[in-house]
Amino acid sequence: MPTTSKDRAAAFFRDHAMVILIVGLAVVVSILRPNFISWPNLNNLAVNTAGRFLVALGVSGCLITRGTDLSAGRLVGLGACVAATLLQNPDYSGRFFPNLPRLPVWVALLAAVLVCAAFGLINGCVISFLKVPPFIATLGMQTFVYGICLVYTGAKPIGGLRRDYTDIANFKIGQFNVWMIVIAVVCGFFIWLLYNQTRHGKYMYAIGGNEAAAEVAGVNTSATKIRIYTLAAVFYALGGFLWAAKSGGTSVNMGQGYELEAIAACTIGGVSVNGGVGRVSGILVGVLVFELLKIALQFMGVETSYTYIVQGLVIVVAVALDLRKYLVKR
Amino acid sequence: MSEYRLEMRDICKSFPGVKALDKAQLRLRPGTVHALMGENGAGKSTLMKCMFGIYRMDSGQIYYEGSPVTIRDPLQALHLGIAMVHQELQPIPERSIAENIFVGRYPVKRWGPLLLVDHQRMYQDTTRVLEEVGMTFPPRARLGSLSVSQMQSVEIAKAVSARCKVLILDEPTSSLTTKEVESLFQIIERLKSQGVSIVYISHKMDEILRISDEVTIMRDGHYIGTWQAEELTTDRIITQMVGRELSSLYPPRENHPQEALLEVRGFSSPNPHSFQDVNFTLHSGEILGVGGLVGAQRTELMEGLFGVRAHSQGKILLKGQPVRIQHPRDAIRQGMALLTEDRRATGILGVLSIADNISISSLDRYLRWGRLLDQKRIRKLVEDHFQKLSIKAPSGKTPIQSLSGGNQQKVLFSRWLATDPDILILDEPTRGIDVGAKYEIYTIISQLARQGKGILLISSEMGELIGMSHRVMVMCDGRVTGFLEGAAVTQERIMALATQFS
């Protein structure tokens, strides 16, 4: 335990090094490029954060139980494609289902959620019952889902989305896409409640802390992990649904690589890869900071190709810093 | 040149919450067997891990052949000529015997620009060092195909092949049969005649008195003294180790066991080497001690009863009713609790708070509105147990891993008491706990018995087993070899039953 104020300051810097660095970068950028802090840019940041926050919330449960979910990005893509194919304009020429009646938006959302949840359920069962390590199980699922999505869409982009669907993501009050932000906040609250105020949450942290001990303590570790992976897929579907609406169209490539961004954001936000640790507020900060990094690099005129290099570095450095916190001197 | 091969002076080492070593000493002469003795948690293994560079000591000095040395890691220790055979062997079972012996220092040969492992030489050398310790295994055989004692011989061969001058043997006989112990002793004699200094850690008095030249005794991390082995008797060693009369340590057993609570009939593991055909009855208010050597399958039996491990045959009756237990959840629902042997591996949820660790098994009792946890009542539960068991910690939010062993154990007791069990299975409940906390835990156990709970107490400490139990059940090689009661409960009788098949 840190005792002196100097120790405490040092511990604070160590625990939040990544966040401090990136916020520092944003401050520098806002001084160099004054239009960095503007309403449209803040809205841009908020919307990007909202979407990715949903994916990060999903992945966080897997990470807290010392697992991971590499199928997240592809499930986002599948969710987007399922929703979009069911919500195209009746008069759009490249309509996917030409004779489809006009479905309520919530039916399409439900369809996307159910399809993705089914794959999440499979993830959970493979990990719990077949004891396949989460890394491998979800790596397989990543490719599997991509294949399913290719077969389903025939690799064709899906456009001509209905106005009432795209409005969900694009409706603005003032400068802000309110629905995106409201949905993200509601989901964040739901997960906070789940993690902190329910048995499921306590069991999840217990599994992450020590799975063998949790089992002896009477935790149904299989059921808990299955719930986690299924719920994660529900959140990916919701993310995909909103993204397709936001962009007004989608394709099989929607969501590619989002799992890595989500894992990186969680880690920056203090979800430990050693398991058992992670808070919703931290996840939000992690996503926000990661998006801030991307926008700041954009504003500095850094070419997209280079931003990938920086993002890759940030991911590894964030995990290295995280592990340092738990390295106990023997 | 000093008269000692190796000297450890004033070694101190602390872990969070415990001072494991406090000015510990050790002086090792060449060509002798030096026994290191003390109760569990006295600091023997910690001291050896400091010598071998696994732990870094906080203060103190090690002298090797008269000159001060700093040992930073095991590799450096090996270079100095110090080798250690671990209490828990750490071999690589999927690789060959030869590779296990030469791991980290493979003989190499040049092949053009490449440096390749010289397998031929490695296999030859392996055969030779195995012969030196009187073993003939094919060097290419998979290590995992050997028995535990054979693996141990390989570990010793590994130490010998490193031309070590100091060999640390940490409880080497705990999983060996009498015959295997004899061949180990022959190896030790041979090494001794070659001038090797051997540190021998064991709990078995007869072994110590037989093979050692000098004995150093430790207690609670302190150095108590060093004696010539011929000056010592078993009683004298025990007195020095415990530091007080044994009888005063245990609370009196005032209550008398009542009706049968748990009946186990023909209980067998699917693994033929594990527990087989176990029968016993546990009464309400009874503390039933379970004795036996390491490898007697006591822990496996308890895990089988609790549903952590599978069983293939047998019945469990609770208050006369047959029950099916296939998962710890089933056992908890039936009013059972299991305090596991390895607190770190299967007990504590390390990074989680004390509060979460206490409440995890009883969350079903603390719900409101159907699904949400009633935090207020959980907080009260935690506060109650803080008081009842006098847990010493800043608050319920403190992570359990920052507590001392004794306080961690009290938190785990709280976890199980919160489920209001009828039967508590306590597997080595005082392992790695300092003496003060030990007494507190004994008091808790005897209070629980007075409340009419049935207690299965597994212990490897004879004093604890004899001092706490109403009856003692002894196991050997997975079978129950007998029950002892009253005046019949003696160290000798327990040992006789515990070694019945060897």
Higher pLDDT, A238 or B158: A238
A159: tokens are 């456009």
Would the CB atoms of A210 and B346 count as touching at under 8 Å? yes
ipTM over 0.95: no
Q: What does pTM read for this prediction?
A: 0.81
CA gyration radius, chain A: 20
Q: What angle do CA B479, B482, B487 make, to 5 degrees?
A: 155
Please report which confidence band the pLDDT of residue B244 belongs to, taking 50, 70 and 90 as the band edges. low
Phi-psi region of A5 (alpha: psi -120 to 50; beta: other; left: phi over 0): alpha
Tell whether A203 is within 8 A of chain B (Cβ).
yes
Higher pLDDT, B395 or B436: B395
Note the pLDDT tens digit of each residue in B308-337: 999 999 999 999 999 999 999 999 999 999
The predicted model gives A142-146 an average pLDDT of 97
Note the pLDDT tens digit of each residue in B107-141: 888 888 888 988 899 999 899 888 877 778 888 88
Note the pLDDT tens digit of each residue in A283-301: 999 999 889 888 888 888 8
Interface of A with B in 221-280 (CB under 8 A): 272, 274-277
B17: tokens are 């919450």
User: How much is the pLDDT for A231?
Assistant: 98
Note the pLDDT tens digit of each residue in B273-300: 899 999 999 999 999 999 988 778 999 9
Picking from B345, B350, B361, the nearest residue to A217 by CB comes out as: B361
Q: Is the pLDDT of residue A254 over 90?
A: yes
Note the pLDDT tens digit of each residue in A147-163: 999 999 999 999 999 99
Would the CB atoms of B329 and A212 count as touching at under 8 Å? no
CB–CB of B23/B10 below 8 Å?
Answer: yes
Q: At a CB cut-off of 8 Å and minimum separation 6, what does B348 contact?
A: A210, A213, B357, B400, B401, B408, B411, B412
Tell whether A172 is within 8 A of chain B (Cβ).
no
Q: Is the pLDDT of residue B81 over 50?
A: yes
CA distance B4 to B214: 13
For residue A207, the chain B residue with the least C-alpha distance is B349
What is the overall mean pLDDT for chain A?
90
Note the pLDDT tens digit of each residue in A37-87: 888 888 999 999 999 999 999 999 999 999 999 999 999 999 999 999 999
Note the pLDDT tens digit of each residue in A88-134: 998 888 888 888 899 999 999 999 999 999 999 999 999 999 999 99
Tell whether B338 is within 8 A of chain A (Cβ).
yes
Would the CB atoms of A206 and B373 count as touching at under 8 Å? no
Tell whether B326 is within 8 A of chain A (Cβ).
no
Query: Hey, is B389 helix, strand or coil?
Result: coil
Residue A209: list chain B partners with CB under 8 A. 349-352
Would the CB atoms of A202 and B356 count as touching at under 8 Å? yes
Picking from A197, A217, A329, the nearest residue to B415 by CB comes out as: A217
Residue A217: list chain B partners with CB under 8 A. 328, 349, 360-361, 415
Q: Is the pLDDT of residue A22 over 90?
A: no
